[in-house]
Amino acid sequence: MRRNMEVANILNQVALLLEVQNVAWKPKAYRKAAETIENTAEDIDVLVRTGKLQDLPGIGIHIAKKIEEIVKTGKLTYLEKLKKEVPVDIESLSHIEGMGPKTIKLLYDKLHVKNVRDVLNAAQAGKIRDLPGMGEKREQLLLAGAQRLQQQGVLRMPRGFAVPIAEELIKTINKFPGTQKAIVAGSYRRGKDTIGDLDILVVSTKPEALMHAFTTMRDVAAVLAQGATKSSVRLTNGLQVDVRAVKASQYGSALQYFTGSKEHSVELRKRALKMGYTLSEYGLFTRKDKTRVASKTEEDIYAKLGLQYIPPEMREQRGEIQLAQHKKLPALIEEHNVHGDFQTQTTWSDGANSIPEMIRASQALGWSFVTITDHAGGIGIAHPLDEPRLKKQGKEIDALQKKIDIRIFKGVEADISKNGTLAISKAACNNLDVVLASIHSAFRMPKDEMTKRICTVLETYPVHVLAHPTGRLINTREGVAFDVEKVFQTAKDHDVFLEINGQPSRMDLNDELVHRARELGCKFVISSDAHSADQLRYVDFGVMTARRGWLEKKDVLNTKSVKDIEHILHAKK
């Protein structure tokens, strides 16, 4: 089982606890190691088994030994020691917006705050505002973040982080005796940006053997339930996984039922009743004599109900059944329609790989273009570009372009300042192929001021893309508040593309906003926001969100030829 995310999470917890203790250099080393493990395409188990851990950048002998301990035992003695020294719920507290290591330490030292409940109590009692560097606004920010976290309960995992786990599970289950077919259903299959658990359907000729093999897998931390055809486990990474054995003759109806959504399935059942059928996980039957009329495939079920096949990503009861009835479903964008990426970072700013390395990785994906968009502006990241460095980077790209066929678009991700100006001049913008504008600071402006801030930049500068428009971070920070209709209309009026950012922790725009922007006539780009070569695959997560927003190939710039893209981009100059 691929456990890269689990290992990275433990290393990040170590880094946080060391930062809380004001340890000088170790946190950076652990965070770098976590980032490397998270981003590498190599399975951490394989790296440990083959002794190749130290071949990875930032992994020295001491951290390598700790990673080996995590892989072999599922825990880290050093982390447990740190937790005893600083007895705080570091993982939960770090997901409260505005709660960094220094704040965690301050609240622990002064108010003995150890968990989310303690933050709520301290903030509601007005005890935080009087601490050094706090104040009433900061207290209210922490209170809101703690309340949001408490309401959410168990944090849902970003789907992008669940993908390698799900893929490895399917690979493992397919090797079990009697397995004929295995697929992940539920919200994962529908492409939702977060998941609570994984629901796996398995066509198996040996269901009891399947249940035994599943519940005794190496990465099972606890067996929650075990039966003849259904079992539930909790993995060592905390994720719950449910497996159901189904008959091949009932696979389609079971898949439709367990994929959901609940609202979509309810409407299907209502339609079935009106047509003289009953629909369940076992199949579509006539009401009169209980004759089975469809169950082997989802396609058969939808066809018998007089509907086009509805892709899983559309099954959210947003009018898709009515469209399917009239054979008017959109032809959703596919992964293979995307020919490149519109946002990547390199070692010129906060990326892990050089421009040549990012280009080679893009070529390996078969892309026809890639865009280099390192950060510009005072956004708190390492080495943001100023205009002289941006010009110097452009010369490197020009030199590389002469040697290769893949088109390299020269770009930048420029910060939108609080007053509605961009971090680089209009003249600098005009020397680039792609200008991304994004917000990285002052997230809590009033809605009308934030709307003006964004619209002013789109109206004033030659911006091509509004990047991760809401600025949200899943489980950590809510998106900024702005007038959606006004910002989207301004983007449309000024030929600015809206970004669908595929970073698992962002997924921004989300599917609902994509759906609304599409209705308003906006156009889109899909980006990985890759900070390493391995993250370029995040484009596929953006495609999933685009499908959930009902986008077609024609709606997305990435699907066009390089020549057409050049023509569209240069029209802004």
The residue written with tokens 């083959």 in the block is 50
Q: Which of 136, 526, 469, 126 is nearest to 334 (CA)?
A: 526
Tokens of 1: 């089982």
Comma-separated ranges of CATH 3.30.460.10 domains in the chain: 157-246
CA dist 54 → 40, 285, 381 (Å) = 13, 59, 27
Which listed CATH number (3.40.50.2000, 3.30.210.10, 3.90.1300.10, 3.40.30.10) goes with 251-325?
Answer: 3.30.210.10
Which phi and psi (to 5°) does residue 367 adopt?
-75, 155
Beta bridge partners of 416: 422
| Residues ≥6 apart with Cβ < 8 Å to 435 | 411, 412, 414, 422, 429, 461, 462, 463, 464, 465, 572
Neighbour tally for 42: CB within 10 Å:
16
Quick one: tokens of 204? 């198996």
**Residue ranges of the chain assigned to CATH 3.20.20.140:** 335-570
Chain region(s) in the chain for CATH 3.30.210.10: 251-325
Give the residue among 166, 161, 192, 187 at the shortest CA–CA distance from 547.
192
Residues in Cβ contact with 343 at an 8 Å cutoff, skipping those fewer than 6 apart: 371, 373, 411, 413, 436, 465, 467, 499, 501, 527, 528, 529, 530
| CB-side neighbour CA atoms (13 Å) of 420 | 13
Tell me the C-alpha distance between 162 and 461, whole Å. 38
DSSP secondary structure letters along 464-520: -EE-STT--BTTTBPPPP--HHHHHHHHHHTTPEEEEE--TTT-BS-HHHHHHHHHT
Which CATH superfamily does the domain covering 157-246 fall into? Answer: Beta Polymerase, domain 2 (3.30.460.10)
- Please state, in angstroms and rounded to a whole number, the distance separating the CA atoms of residues 247 and 267: 25
Per-residue pLDDT of the chain (573 residues; tens, 9 = 90+): 457 878 888 888 898 888 888 787 888 888 888 888 877 777 888 888 888 888 888 888 989 999 999 888 888 999 989 888 888 888 788 878 788 888 988 998 899 998 888 999 999 999 999 999 898 888 888 888 888 777 765 568 899 999 999 999 999 999 999 999 999 999 999 999 999 899 999 999 999 999 999 999 988 989 999 999 999 998 887 889 999 999 999 999 999 999 999 999 999 999 999 999 999 999 999 998 999 999 999 999 999 999 999 999 999 999 999 999 999 999 999 999 999 999 999 999 988 899 999 999 999 999 999 999 999 986 666 678 999 999 999 999 999 999 999 999 999 999 999 999 999 999 999 999 999 999 998 898 999 999 999 999 999 999 999 999 999 999 888 899 999 999 999 999 999 999 999 999 999 999 999 999 999 999 999 999 999 999 999 999 999 999 999 999 999 999 999 999 999 999 876
Identify the CATH class of 4-151. mainly alpha
185 Rama class: left (phi>0) / alpha (psi -120 to 50) / beta: beta
Supply angle C-alpha 536, 259, 282, rounded to 5: 150
- Rg (C-alpha) for the chain, rounded Å, is 25
Q: End-to-end alpha-carbon separation of the chain, Å?
A: 50
Euclidean distance between CA atoms 286 and 53, whole angstroms: 59
CATH 3.20.20.140 for the 335-570 domain, yes or no: yes
Strands 230-235 and 197-204: unpaired
Question: What is the DSSP annotation of 352-363?
Answer: SS-HHHHHHHHH
Structure tokens at 85: 């020294």
**If you ran DSSP here, which 8-state letter would residue 536 be given?**
G
Looking at residue 253, what DSSP letter applies?
Answer: H
